[in-house]
Amino acid sequence: MITESELLALSHPGAPKMVTTSVPGPVARQSLARSLEFESMARGGGDFPLVFEQGFGVTVADPDGNLYIDVSAGVGVNSVGRCHPAVVEAIRAQSQRLMHASDISNSRRVELAGALSEIMPLGLRGNCISYFTQSGSDALEAAIKFAKRVTGRQQILAFHGAYHGVWNASNALTTGNQYRSGYGPFMGGVIHAPYPYAYRFPFDTTGKSAEQIAGEYVDYLLNTRYTGAEDVAAVVVEPVQGEGGYVAPAAEFLQLLRKACNESGALLVVDEVQAGAGRTGKMWSVEHSGVEPDMLTFGKGMGGDLPMAGVALRSDLARQIPPGSVPGTFAANALSAAVCLTNIGLLRDPKLALIDRARELGQETLEYLRSRDHRLIGESRGRGLMIGIELVEDRASKAPLAAQKMGHIVVESLKRGIIMVPCGRNGNVLRLMPSLTIPRVYMTRALEIILEVLDTV
Ligand code: PMP
């Protein structure tokens, strides 16, 4: 396994280190003002009071010279850390040969499709065809089109709390009000069912687990007459829910979905955009369940420092898609493909064992958080380095921590040098999704600071 000193060498030393008295500092403040003037605030992080200037491993420097530890990895993107030397070298080498090739084959893209087939979960491994996009939203748009085309059906079943993207079809699956309000109508024919979010499940779980209830309900919807779900092409699911609050259901949930899909003929599409690329302690989070999906969407951590996303679908299904029917000008740019291949190489390297490390460090972190038993922590949960800390006003009522207190926690953490992006249906879940290359000392320091900040609320 990669050693701690090797990991430290991948990040700036001495983080966090704050040199300005306020955050943002004077230079960043000016830059943010210009951004407000010229850039759309429809984007996700527009109001985040930070400007990135340099990123190296798990550390980021702002233009005022403050140095932060980033436990968000660019929202789950930098699995191998920012500017990894192998990635930088791949960019250097490929940029001198070929970058753009349009949708025509290029050598790196061909190599990448082969590599993806080797690393897919069972069911797709050695038996899939990849379709490339630039973003996760696009990957979901493509998966939905393909599911409709090959089944000849029109409905899609997704889950409460889901985030699958913000375009027309993907947004129809995404449930967050802020992404929907005023933008509809979206693609029709979408049915939403409860996700097994045990901490806030709408039904009584004394006799049966949330996973059983949620899984059996999907079976009922798909395989019973008069439910209005007679034409479902695909069940689209995050094996670990991301934006919805870092919810990691037991394996039984996906197993029940697989069974229900088998009976109804719907395809099972697992969205691994956030939970994939080694983050949960397996290459793909679906692998914790042993379930074999029909399609898998990937993004974020597969690309890392350059955009790369797409969908892998079973070969027999892919053969039913008419050639040339879904073109993409920028798909699988040779540079992005070279970076993705490098990321895959690093994640699979047995000498580094980054994915095993994610599993171990994640488990240790969860145990540490649970042992600290802070009064604001309703629940600490997750899988691997995909950890959610759900904050509440008090544990008895489980009332979500007020938005203004959450804002204070995020900004106060930033002032102390920790970059953290919350999530959850009530915006009250702190998420730890650092690069798999986070040195232990940086993880420990980040946790200490976060707990100190919680004490200020
Ligand atoms: N699916 C999941 C599970 C995601 O977490 C996200 C992004 N948060 C997306 C899809 C959309 O990805 P992108 O932002 O690259 O469009």
Q: How sure is the predictor about 358, in pLDDT bands with cuts at 50, 70 and 90?
A: very high
For the chain, percent of residues with pLDDT exceeding 70: 100
Domains defined for the chain, CATH in brackets = 4-71+355-455 (3.90.1150.10), 86-348 (3.40.640.10)
On the question of pLDDT at 299 being above 90, the answer is yes
130-182 confidence digits (pLDDT tens): 999 999 999 999 999 999 999 999 999 999 999 999 999 999 999 999 999 99
CA distance 179 to 43: 11
Q: Are strands 67-70 and 59-61 parallel, antiparallel or unpaired?
A: antiparallel
Of residues 373 and 348, the one with the higher pLDDT is 348
Show the ligand 1 pocket: residues with CB < 6 angstroms.
Answer: 135-137, 140, 163-165, 238, 242-243, 271, 273-274, 299, 309
Query: What is the rounded CA–CA span in Å between residue 136 and residue 109?
Result: 18
> pTM of this prediction?
0.98
Which atom of ligand 1 is closest in space to residue 136's alpha carbon? 12
Average pLDDT, the chain: 97
What is the average per-residue pLDDT within 30-37?
Answer: 96
Instruction: Please give the DSSP secondary-structure letter assigned to residue 247.
Output: B
d(CA 137, ligand 1 centre) in Å: 6
CA distances from 194 to 202, 241, 335 (A): 8, 12, 40
User: Which of ligand 1's atoms lies nearest the C-alpha of 241?
Assistant: 3
Residue 393, token pair as written in the block:
């006003």
Atom of ligand 1 nearest to the CA of 272: 3
Dist. CA 122–CA 376, nearest whole Å? 40
- In contact, 354 and 436? CB cutoff 8 Å: yes
Give the residue-averaged pLDDT of 302-314. Answer: 98
